């Protein structure tokens, strides 16, 4: 039975990198298309309806529009760069070392939302929708990028960090107390 991907089956006892499997999957193709579609929709909006809407804005809202549209464009360029690197790697156009070098130049931002933007609700609805979509895509790509950073073949720690702290506390409190010399 074919799953639509060319991924080798996983055998018992094998450590699997989610990121590597995802990059080779149809789901990566879907996020790639979504990301490139968002870039295209944003460019179309900013060159067309967005330009008309921005001319109607005054004062601080006009400055906010200019600032947020530049931030949106920058965010999308970084995301598109990341997607293009992953696709080139998937297609065998670049090596893993080349991909790592190129990836190091991409500045992904931490997950976030536009709620920190003062006056966000004053921006045109179309721009707000694009900004929100870009943050959602950014969050997904940041998570995928973190998954891809896991080195395949290195042992994965199965230690429970809470248990490790409990053990340290037990050891600390089980040792006899020393009395301070006065």
Mean pLDDT, 10 residues at a time, the chain of 182 residues: 46 54 78 96 97 95 96 96 93 90 90 81 96 94 84 52 70 62 56
pLDDT score, position 157? 52
Indicate yes or no: pTM above 0.75. no
pLDDT score, position 5? 45
Region class of 178: left (phi > 0), else alpha (psi between -120 and 50), else beta: beta
CA distance 86 to 94: 9
- Does residue 27 contact residue 86 with C-beta atoms inside 8 Å? no
pLDDT score, position 137? 95
pLDDT score, position 16? 53
pLDDT score, position 123? 95
Residue 27 DSSP SS3:
helix
CATH topology of domain 18-154: Helicase, Ruva Protein; domain 3 (1.10.8)
pLDDT score, position 132? 95
Q: How far is CA 138 from the centre of its chain?
A: 5
CA distance 67 to 62: 9
């Amino acid at each position: 039975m074919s799953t639509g991907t060319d991924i080798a089956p996983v055998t018992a006892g094998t450590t699997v990198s989610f990121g590597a499997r995802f990059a080779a999957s149809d789901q990566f193709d879907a996020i790639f298309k979504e990301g490139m579609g968002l870039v295209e929709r944003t460019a179309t909006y900013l060159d067309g309806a967005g330009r008309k809407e921005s001319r109607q804005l005054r004062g601080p809202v006009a400055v906010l529009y200019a600032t947020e549209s530049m931030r949106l464009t920058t965010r999308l360029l970084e995301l598109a760069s990341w997607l293009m690197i992953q696709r080139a790697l998937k297609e065998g156009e670049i090596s893993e070392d080349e991909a790592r070098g190129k990836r190091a130049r991409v500045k992904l931002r931490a997950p976030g939302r536009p709620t920190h933007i003062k006056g966000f609700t004053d921006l045109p609805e179309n721009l707000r929708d694009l900004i929100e979509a870009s943050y959602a895509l950014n969050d997904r790509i940041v998570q995928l990028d973190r998954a891809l950073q896991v080195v395949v073949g290195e042992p994965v720690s199965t230690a429970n960090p809470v248990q490790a702290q409990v053990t340290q506390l037990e050891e600390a409190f089980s040792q006899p107390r020393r009395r301070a010399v006065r």
